Chain A
Amino acid sequence: MPIDVHFLARLFPALLEGAEVTVELAVLTMAICVVWGLVVALGQATRGPLGWAAGAYIQIVRNTPLLIQMYIVYFGLSLVGVPLSGFASGLLALCLQNGGYVAEIYRGGLQSVSARQYEAGRALGMRRWTLYRSVILPQVIARVIPPLANQGISITKDTSQVAAIAVMEIMKVAQVWVESSANTYDVFLAVGLIYLVLTSVISVGARVAERQLAFVS
C-alpha cells in the first residue's frame, strides 16, 4: 500500500482542525465526568431512592451503546423542543455514558479506602464533609488516577462516534475525505496516528499526575 505523501500533506491540516474539536470534546467530557461521576458515586453510596436511581442510571448507560444514546439525545431532545447543537448533544451523551463508568471508578476508589481511615477521622471529631474532603477524597483521588486516565483514553476514542450527529471532529473530517478521495488507507492511517498522539498525551499526563499525587505508601 503506497503512502501518498502529497495527499497526506493536504489531508493533515484538515484533520488537525477536526482534532481541535475532538480535543475540546474529550477535555470537556473528562472535566465534567470527573465531577459528575463523583456526584453519582456519592449518590449511589446513599441508601434510599437516590442510591437506587444512581445505580439504575449507571446500569442503563453502561449497558447500551453510546451511538444510540447519542441519537436519542440529539434527535429526541429536539423533538421535545430542546434542540441542542450537535456538539452539545455529543458532549451530553458522552458525559452521560462515561459518568456511569467514572462513578464506578470512584466507587472502587472509595471502597479501597479502609474503614479504619473513616474511624480515625471520626474519632478526631471530624464531621462527614470534613472527613471526606480532607481524609477520604485525597486518598481516593490518588488511587483513581490510573483508571481515570484509562477512561480518558477511551473517552477520546469514543468522541469519534459524534460524527454520526454532524459534529466536524476528526472522524467526520476523515469520512468526508474518504468520500471524496476514495483513499481510505491514507486517511485512516493519519487518523490512527493522531489518536495515538492524543491518547499518549493522556497516558503521560496521568503518569506525571500520579507521581505528583503519590504519597509514599
Chain B
Amino acid sequence: AQDSVLDTVLKRDKIIVATYSTSPPLAYVDDKGDLVGFEIDMAHEIAKDLLGDPNKVEFVVVQSDGRFPAALSGKVDFGLCSTTIYPDRAVRIAFTRPYIDTGNSLIARKDAAIKTIQELNDPKYTYAILNVPPAIERARQLLPKVKTLLLDSPSALFLAVKTGRATAFNIDKPIADYYEHENDDLMRLDVTGTPFAYVAQDAIFMKPGDFKWWLFLDTWVGELRYGSRYNKYQEWYQKWLHKDAPPQRAYDFNKY
C-alpha cells in the first residue's frame, strides 16, 4: 500500500501548500512583499500542529487553472486557496469540511441608480462575475436577462465596473469587505433574503483516496471551527475580516 501523505509530511518535516497570492484578505502579498492572509495563517497553524513549528510550511503559489493539478499530481500536499465545495469538483478531488462560509456581495455603480437585484435583471445592464461555477450558476438562475461578463480576478471585476464596462459585479463578501474603503463611486446592493445571501463554503482540497491524510485535515478544520482551536479562528476573523467568527456550536445537551 502507498504511504499516506501524512507519513510523507512527517518524514519530510514540512508541509507543502498550494495557495493564491492575489486574493486579499485570504491570501495575498502585503506591501512588504510577504505572503499574508487568513488562509496563510491557517497553513502556518497546521504546520505547527503537525510538526511543531509554524514555519515548517512551503507555499506554492498557484492560479486557479493550476491549483487542481498541483494537488492531483502530488506537487502539493493540499490546496488552501478559496476553493468552494462543488459537487462536480468533488468527483475528482477530496474536500475537507468547510473552513469558511462566504456570502456574496453585489456591487453596482452609483450612477446606475439601481436599488434592487431585480432591477439588474435587464438586458441593458452588464453583470461581471468570476468564471467560477457557483457564480455562473447564480447568474443563470437569478439574473437570466442581464448580459454577463466572465473575468478572472477581483481586480478585473472592480476595473470593469469602474471603467463602465459593467454595471454591477458579484464577489465573495470577504473580498468586497477588504476593498470597501477604495470605492466611493460604487455601492452595495442589498442581498438579504435572496440566494446571494446563502453561504458558499470554501474548503481545503487534496488528492482523493488518502483517508489518513484527509481525516487529519478534516479533523483539524473541525477543531478550528468548533473545538479546541476556535480561539485562533476568532482571532483570524478579527484580524483579517474585522468581525466575529461564526459561533461555536452550542446547544442544550439536556434537550437532545
Question: A interface vs B, CB < 8 Å?
Answer: 74-75, 78-79, 83, 86, 163-166, 168, 172, 175-176, 178-185
Contact = CB atoms under 8 A, between A and B. Distances in A.
A78 B149 contact: no
Contact of B69 (A175, A179, A185): A185
16 contacts: A74-B165, A75-B159, A78-B164, A163-B152, A166-B128, A166-B149, A176-B150, A178-B64, A179-B131, A182-B91, A182-B92, A182-B205, A183-B91, A184-B69, A184-B72, A185-B69
Given A175-B65, A180-B133, 14 more contacts: A74-B165, A75-B160, A75-B163, A79-B163, A165-B151, A166-B150, A175-B152, A176-B150, A179-B132, A181-B91, A182-B68, A182-B88, A182-B93, A184-B68
B136 A181 contact: no
B149 A86 contact: yes
Interface residues on B, range: 20 to 34
Contacts of B151: 164-166
Majority SS of interface residues in chain A? helix
A79 B185 CA distance: 14
Contacts of A86: 149
Contacts of B92: 181-183
Contacts, number: 69
A172 B150 contact: yes
Contacts of B179: none
B212 interface: no
B133 A179 contact: yes
B7 to A, nearest CB: 24
Contact of B64 (A83, A175, A181): A175
B86 interface: yes
B89 interface: yes
Nearest to B86: A180
A180 to B, nearest CB: 4
B246 to A, nearest CB: 26
A163 B91 CA distance: 26
Nearest to B70: A184
A83 B164 contact: yes
B89 A182 contact: yes
A79 B163 CA distance: 5
